Amino acid sequence: MHIAFVLYPGMTALDLVGPSQVLCCHPAVEAHYVAGTPDPVRTDSGLVIQPTTTFAELTAPEVLVVPGGGGWRRALDDTALVDYIATAHPAATWTTSVCSGSTLLAKAGILTGKRATTHWAVRDVLVELGAELSTDRVVFDGNVVTAAGVSAGIDMGFALAAAIWDEPTAQQFQLGLEYDPQPPFDTGSPEKAPAEMVAAIRAAVRAA
């Protein structure tokens, strides 16, 4: 199974690495880290990722994973990136996104009239681009799967593994990765965090 993990400048590494780590537990997966050119891609944290192939070389992956990140707004104007997503989607068994990556799916015309989720700070953008907003952590609508902000990509990876293979397989992956979240704080959603913290994070995400 060929899975394309899409790379672009300013993406968030965990958006991609989370689902990659989960899905690549299966021996049938052949992971491809695909970008517009073979040049290294710098993420929003400064981590540099080396593409293994390009958009032109991998046109029909079976699974497409599109991350979000600090560069999400600039990425919406990246014609080559958006065109690749739009072109790869029809042949894909599953098209997925993490965080603000769903805005790229929407820009590519994939989410029109579909339920989708995204990072809470850009929910309005997703609606403006034609999606039907859901605030769930992981959303399936046909063969399109979207995950909420950053860490939700890990949850999406397990949910997608269950859909591709079966629940016992996904559960085995979860155990092997010891995914048993016990966060030290309870500020992981805008409904739980202080208002001033929510405002600060929203401003930072929207200014990216």
**Beta strands across the sheet bearing 2-6:** 53-54, 30-35, 2-6, 63-66, 94-98, 144-147, 138-141
| 99: annotated active-site residue | yes
At 46, which CATH number? 3.40.50.880
Tally of domains within the chain: 1
Which class for 105: exposed (0-12), middle (13-18), buried (19 or more C-beta within 10 A)?
A: buried
Question: Is position 204 within any domain?
Answer: no
Question: Is position 96 within any domain?
Answer: yes
**Tens digit of each residue's pLDDT, the chain (208 residues):** 999 999 999 999 999 999 999 999 999 999 999 999 999 999 999 999 999 999 999 999 999 999 999 999 999 999 999 999 999 999 999 999 999 999 999 999 999 999 999 999 999 999 999 999 999 999 999 999 999 999 999 999 999 999 999 999 999 999 999 999 999 999 999 999 999 999 999 999 988 7
Give the position of tokens 């700070």.
Answer: 121
Question: Is position 177 within any domain?
Answer: yes
From residue 109, give the alpha-carbon distance in Å to each of 143, 150, 188: 14, 22, 30
| pTM exceeding the 0.75 threshold for the entire prediction | yes
Please identify which of the residues 7, 99, 126, 152 carries the catalytic annotation: 99
Q: What DSSP character marks residue 38?
A: S
Question: Is position 161 within any domain?
Answer: yes
Show the CA angle centred on residue 93, arms to residues 87 and 97, nearest 5°. 70
Domain that holds residue 126: 2-182
Q: Determine if residue 41 is left, alpha or beta; phi over 0 gives left, psi from -120 to 50 gives alpha, anything else beta.
A: beta
Question: Is position 192 within any domain?
Answer: no
Which residues are CB-contacts of 173 (< 8 A; sequence separation ≥ 6)?
Answer: 22, 25, 26, 158, 161
Q: Which residues of 27-44 are buried (b: 16+ CB within 10 A; e: fewer)?
A: eebebbbbbbeeeebbbb
DSSP structure string for 101-124: HHHHHHHTTSSTT-EE---GGGHH
